């Protein structure tokens, strides 16, 4: 019988967390739409479990037009108000408003920098930081890089982009490899 796979401890809970860990978390993303989606979902997770957001992710994709940045930026107040009634997403008025505002800020950033990809990856000099943690307890909640990213995004008008959210975003998008040493996904 095959030995069970060893994963990062946070991914040993539910099937949805295991699948996400095994196929997505820490894989370098360079697509502006996917980077925007991840940034929004990390912000939506603030104060909640990541599992909660993963369960609601498909509905988020539906109501936010597949995270098409221009379409989200153009959403009207009445659309956001209607979303407050949708149990398929996190119904937090500030987070919903921030989604549209972040899309508007992202369009300006793309116009200035050429892409979200180029700008966001510049905080890690364009290549993943590969940490060598032995266990989850060693993994920080934020770093100097996430501090800089958070400060920069806030200055540009983004919301729900504190340093801890930015670090989780960096982990999720492969900017930082924080799979622990015995995880089967460790590069």
DSSP-assigned beta bridge partners for residue 130: 177
Which residues does the annotation mark as catalytic?
A: 20, 42, 50
Ramachandran sector of residue 180 (left: φ over 0; alpha: ψ -120 to 50; beta: rest): beta
Please state the three-class secondary structure of 103-128 as a single string.
HHHHHHHHHHHCCHHHHHHHHHCCCC
Distance CA 68, CA 62 (A): 11
If you search the block for the tokens 């921030």, which residue do you land on?
98
Residue 186, token pair as written in the block: 């460790």
Distance CA 93, CA 63 (A): 15
Contact 69, 106 (CB under 8 A): yes
Residue 105, token pair as written in the block: 């800020």
Distance CA 119, CA 113 (A): 6
């Amino acid at each position: 019988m095959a030995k069970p796979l060893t994963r990062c401890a946070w991914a040993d809970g539910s099937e949805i967390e295991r699948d996400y860990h095994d196929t997505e978390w820490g894989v370098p993303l360079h697509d502006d739409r996917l980077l925007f989606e991840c940034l929004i979902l990390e912000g939506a997770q603030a104060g909640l479990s990541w599992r909660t957001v993963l369960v609601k992710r498909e509905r988020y994709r539906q109501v936010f037009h597949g995270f098409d940045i221009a379409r989200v930026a153009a959403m009207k107040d009445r659309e956001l108000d209607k979303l407050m009634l949708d149990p398929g997403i996190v119904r937090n008025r500030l987070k919903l408003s921030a989604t549209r505002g972040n899309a508007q800020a992202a369009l300006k950033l793309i116009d200035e920098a050429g892409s979200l990809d180029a700008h966001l990856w510049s905080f890690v000099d364009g290549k993943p930081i590969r940490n060598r943690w032995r266990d989850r307890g060693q993994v920080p909640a934020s770093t100097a890089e996430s501090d800089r990213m958070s400060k920069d995004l806030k200055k540009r008008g983004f919301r729900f982009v504190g340093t801890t959210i930015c670090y989780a975003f960096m982990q999720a998008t492969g900017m930082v490899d924080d799979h622990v040493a015995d995880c089967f996904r460790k590069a």
